[in-house]
Amino acid sequence: MGLTNTFLIFINLVFFGFSFGVVMLGLIIRFGTKVAAFAWGFINVFQPFMAVIYPASILPQPFRGIAYLLAPTYVFEAMRKNLKGQSGATEFIYAAILNIIFLIGAIIFFRFMFNKSKQSGAFARLEG
């Protein structure tokens, strides 16, 4: 794996993490710090579907569909291809497209949750 592939892996995973963080921040702003523990643990719910440890192809068919909706699945599949000496360019492109879609969706979700928290006054209230 060359430096370019390592950079693409890093960038794709950072963008996914940033998008996920923006969604979790929207939930925390809307519902307060009571959901902070949920935010820390929620990414672990998706980890089995992201093909981190094993290929997505071994997942049962319904779960495979979920896996291919997540950008990190393509990143880790590309890493596996690169380790076999094959090109993972297609997977990196899919991951980048999904990351752009996720980032746009995360920003829209955050703005929606922020506006809802302002309307309900949850943003201005102190937690105690």
Task: Give the tens place of pLDDT for each residue, 36-45.
Answer: 888 888 888 8
pTM: predicted TM-score of the whole model, two decimal places: 0.85
Contacts of 106 (CB under 8 A, 6+ apart): 18, 19, 20, 22, 23, 26
Q: What is the 8-class DSSP label of residue 86?
A: -
- Give dist(CA 22, CA 3) in Å, integer: 28
- The residue behind tokens 């991951």 is 95
List the domain boundaries for the chain. 3-119
pLDDT tens digits, 69-124 = 999 999 999 999 988 888 888 999 999 999 999 999 999 999 999 999 988 877 66
Q: How far is residue 92's CA from residue 96's CA, in Å, rounded to a whole number? A: 6
Distance set, CA 96 to CA 9, 46, 54, 67, 88 (Å): 10, 18, 21, 15, 12
